[in-house]
Amino acid sequence: MATTDRHANEFVSTVAGVTVRGQAHSLSAWFVLGLRLTMGIVFLWSGVDKILEGSWTAAGYLTGATVANGSPLADLFVWMGHTDWMLSFIDIAVPWGELLIGLGLIVGVLTRLAAFFGAVMMVLFYFGNWDIAHGYINSDFAYMLVFLSVAAFGAGRILGLDRFIEQYPIGGVPLVERYPVLTYILG
């Protein structure tokens, strides 16, 4: 179903003095929803798989794979893999982070926050899975852009709980109007 307002699907942004304009198709909301749900399922599945394994650890990946693939951050990853407190943190943060990011995206709650942390994880995976044999753009980099797109388009408002949370009245004023900083984590 197409919209009758020709400006309804326009978006404009200016960064560093450069303005870009675009016009979304009326089906764009469905594609953004599809991206949100797809990334949610991927991350939920990955987190649950690691948690159910029970013995998952990032140690071998951090200390071996990153050196073998020539990652420019290999020294940092090796340090993380050999530093007990950091490895303990990573062994909890990765599977539970994936699970929570996945749930947040599927349900559409705290969507921008979930997408931000998903993008951060993908940047780390990008450098950890370093492979530039076919160029600098790989699936980890592409997933990072998908997460950023989910956040930018406010995908949690499309059949998600963020739409309702943002409008929850506090003293007669919608939550995000009373606390505008919440627009950075909801939506």
Residues in contact with 56: Cβ distance below 8 Å, sequence separation at least 6, in sequence order: 50, 91, 95
Q: Kindly report which listed range (3-17, 42-56, 108-122) carries the lowest average pLDDT score.
A: 3-17
The pLDDT of residue 28 is 87
Q: DSSP for the chain?
A: ---S-TTTTEEEEEETTEEEEEE--TTHHHHHHHHHHHHHHHHHHHHHHHHHHSS--SHHIIIIIHHHTT-TTHHHHHHHHH-HHHHHHHHHHHHHHHHHHHHHHHHTSSHHHHHHHHHHHHHHHHHHT---TT-S--HHHHHHHHHHHHHHTTGGGSSSTHHHHHH-EETTEEHHHHSGGGGGT--
Q: How far apart are CA 49 and CA 139, in angstroms?
A: 20
Q: What confidence tier does 3 reach under pLDDT thresholds 50, 70, 90?
A: very low
The pLDDT of residue 7 is 54
pLDDT digits (tens, 9 = 90+) for 131-169: 887 788 888 999 999 999 999 999 999 999 999 999 999
Q: How far apart are CA 41 and CA 97, in angstroms?
A: 13
The backbone torsions φ and ψ at residue 21, rounded to the nearest 5 degrees and listed phi first, read -130, 150
The pLDDT of residue 24 is 82
Q: How far apart are CA 38 and CA 29, in angstroms?
A: 14
Q: How far apart are CA 49 and CA 137, in angstroms?
A: 27
pTM, to two decimals? 0.86
